[in-house]
Amino acid sequence: MESKALEGLREISSSLTNDYMGRWKEQGGKVVGYFYSYVPDEMLVGAGIMPYRIRGLGSTTTMVSDKYLTESNCPASRYTMDAIMSGGMDFLDAIVGTNICDHVRRVYENINLYGDIPCISFVFVPRVTGEHHTATYASFLEKLRGNIEEHFGVKVSDPDIEEGIRTCNRVRALQRRLYDTMRADNPPLSGADVHAVMIAAECMPKQDYEALLEQLLDDVAGEEGDGTPASRFLLSVGELDDLRFVETVESQGGKVVTDSMLYGTLACCSDVKEGTANPIAALAQRYFGDDPALCPRIIGGNQGRFEYVARLVKDMRVDGVILCSMPFCEQWEFEQRDLGSFLRRNGIPCLSITNDYIQMDSGQIKTRVQAFQETMKGARLQ
């Protein structure tokens, strides 16, 4: 299927920088980088700042970061830090950290100490859910607002944040429409296309993204893919920002029709409540209170995540689930093990893959996916 919007979004997702961000910067716009998913885009958008989810795409070495981190740290943190310390993200005007995991929180500390990009705020995210834990997270979002105001000399009012909430909710609604197109027997887009669209959301101005995504949805309306996929997959991964993994999976005739990923459905599965008296509390409620299932780091959220996956398997008529984790990432390695057990108990076929952050093992992945498809086919015939 030909779509200029899709072409553009794929290009944006495959590079650390893009023309839209370039233009934003040329016009004096600021870009703030953050790790993972607990720094709400809404706050930054409301402040007139472009949020940018930090990733180490394109980094092929850890020569620089090896000075700061060690072999026991996960590849994502090592490659990402390498990209930052090598100047690959000098377009960032500031960085916000979170205690998302033991690796990433120290990457933030290292950049704070040795890097050139100002580290302006650290958002503490509790690991246990409950009313007062949500309030604690909200208090750190309040501190984030103060830090942004202080660093950039701007005023971030509640109505500003409310505006950010409305923008991001519109984006999420479009993303959900995108996933709806994957319900078809012969979806018009590949899983890699969808993945590209979701990544692009985190590295370009939201208004531009919204326009491109609307265009893409117009382009795909009524379209079909090249043929019914041999298998329909759900992909569950922690940090995956390189399209090549999904492309490799799909190279064997199957299609990733849905996912449980933060560069995926988890980013758009629910909205922030609009029109409340306290927009920061609304953000805390959505990112932490309502949806503790977002990440394995939240203790007690696993059952919710497993049920979420099971629901998607049913809704999207998934044949098999592909679980992928990185070495030395305790949270997702554990999650995949437990999720795998849950799926097997419920008769849902699954394949577990351990993969480096940079995509190098495509031959091995192809073989394993091929074998997985054949096993599922055999089981279906029986």
Interface residue list for other proteins (CB under 8 A): 67-74, 77, 99, 101-103, 105-107, 109-110, 113-114, 122, 124, 126-128, 132-133, 136, 296-297, 299-300, 302-303, 325, 327-328, 330-331, 333-335, 337-338, 341-342
Q: What distances in angstroms separate CA 10 from CA 187, 190, 242, 361, one per listed residue?
A: 17, 12, 11, 22
Q: How far is the CB of 216 from other proteins (least distance, A)?
A: 37
Q: How far is the CB of 86 from other proteins (least distance, A)?
A: 15
Strand partners, 33: 52, 95
Tell me the DSSP string of 199-212.
HHTTSS-HHHHHHH
Nearer CB in complex with other proteins: 193/333: 333
Nearer CB in complex with other proteins: 24/68: 68
Tell me the DSSP string of 309-358.
HHHHHHHTT-SEEEEEE-TT-HHHHHHHHHHHHHHHHTT--EEEEE--SS
DSSP secondary-structure letter at 12?
A: H
Tokens of 250: 């799909």
Picking from 40, 362, 368, 377, the residue whose alpha carbon sits closest to that of residue 192 is 362
Count of CB atoms within 10 A of residue 22's CB? 11
Nearer CB in complex with other proteins: 126/320: 126
Q: How far is the CB of 74 from other proteins (least distance, A)?
A: 8
Nearer CB in complex with other proteins: 271/330: 330
Nearer CB in complex with other proteins: 145/206: 145
Q: How far is the CB of 297 from other proteins (least distance, A)?
A: 7
Are the C-beta atoms of residues 155 and 149 closer than 8 Å to each other? yes
